[in-house]
Amino acid sequence: MQQKNIFSAVLILAFSLILFSCSKGGNTPTPEPAVVPVVSVQDMSQPITATNTTMQFYVNTNKSTTIDVSIDYSFSDGTAISPKDYVAKSGTITIPAGKTQATIDVPISGDPTNLRRINPQFSLQLSNPKFCTISTSIATGTILTEDGTYLPTDNSGYSTPTSYPGYTLAWSDEFSASSLDLAVWNQEIGNNNGWGNNELEYYTNSLKNVFLSNGNLIIEARKESMSGFNYSSGRMTTQNKKNFKFGRIDIRAKLPVAKGMWPALWMLGANINSVGWPACGEMDIMELIGTYPSRVSGTMHWKNASGAHASKGSNYSLSSGDYSQQFHVFSMVWAQDLIKCYVDDQLYLTVTSADAGANYPFNADQFFLFNVAVGGDWPGPPDATTVFPQRMFVDYVRVFL
């Protein structure tokens, strides 16, 4: 009888404890899901816009569960700085029962100028998972600014006048429009077997590689995969649109000088399609090899009497600094049987018809070519010191007759 009474007392005590727990609002712990889901987050990128916007990150589980799962998150600066480029924040995100995805929105600052710069990046960090585990805890947010159309540059350096005694300005491009004048300029596309020099770039007609900004033509070389090549760049000509013969030519430009870069401002004979190169004549007003950042070359090329390639050229070196730091003016004074090349009005090359003899090709029409080559037989390839993008700025080209 005593054992029965004890058993009854225990039952009454247990029932009383249950009633007491309920009366105090006690909760039964949420059970762990039978199979714990795995959470991941992925990198995101989007182009910058003129006004503020948001970037959305997706947080996913590999399976849904019967209970909510949650994860803490926080954003941190990389090359993107909060609040200049984006607005960092932190918090907790919940993926509801029966769902496999939730999103985190982060504010992105707008840029009405559309400034071209290296894409800024920031990081999203996941931590402290509840009722789940994390497989990918860090994601990168990339704000795409590398295709911006505004790119100012310091305008200091040498300049030349818009008139000379005895000359009349016959044609110029000051590159002050909003886009390239396609009535004058062609944009060549491709690699064309290395353009005869084993060059490494693929030329495009994209605004990524050739655009106008702030009164300058900009040709930009990038390190990127493009049609089987590792670099992209721009090459433009006036072939079949505008030819020139004699006069004074001034081209004001600032040059890329890194290893493997080969910017050039030059001309080819308008009859190249019928007589070929070098019989058509090539007039290199300026070439720079990145290995020698303070030196440019001017060279005339032709076909000699035996049918072989011949040339005459010279170099001009700055007394201090290099050609990327300021604008310089590369000029050619071109007359019947005579060519003179200058840097900042300093003569450094003279070529006459006597140098080439009967095959002298430079008393005939020529057209312009502006390009930035990457690699090739002369400069060799870029190396670890070459930081992309690399750019040539051209302020103006003027032809006086």
Q: Which residue has the tokens 């199979």?
A: 35
Q: Tell me which of 199, 201, 220, 282 is the catalytic residue.
A: 282
Has 224 been annotated as catalytic?
no
Mention every residue, 6+ apart, whose C-beta is less than 8 A from residue 23: none
Separation of alpha carbons 250 and 273, rounded Å: 27
Six-digit token pair at 109?
Answer: 């600052």
Separation of alpha carbons 149 and 41, rounded Å: 32
At CA 33, angle to CA 28 and CA 39, rounded to 5? 125
Separation of alpha carbons 102 and 35, rounded Å: 19
Pairing mode of beta strands 53-61, 38-41: antiparallel
Q: What is the dihedral of CA 342, 287, 295, 378, to 10 degrees?
A: -150
At CA 294, angle to CA 293 and CA 300, rounded to 5? 95
Q: Tell me which of 199, 201, 220, 287 is the catalytic residue.
A: 287
Separation of alpha carbons 61 and 378, rounded Å: 54
Q: Give the Å distances, CA to CA, from 287 to 165, 262, 367.
A: 28, 7, 16
Catalytic residues: 282, 287
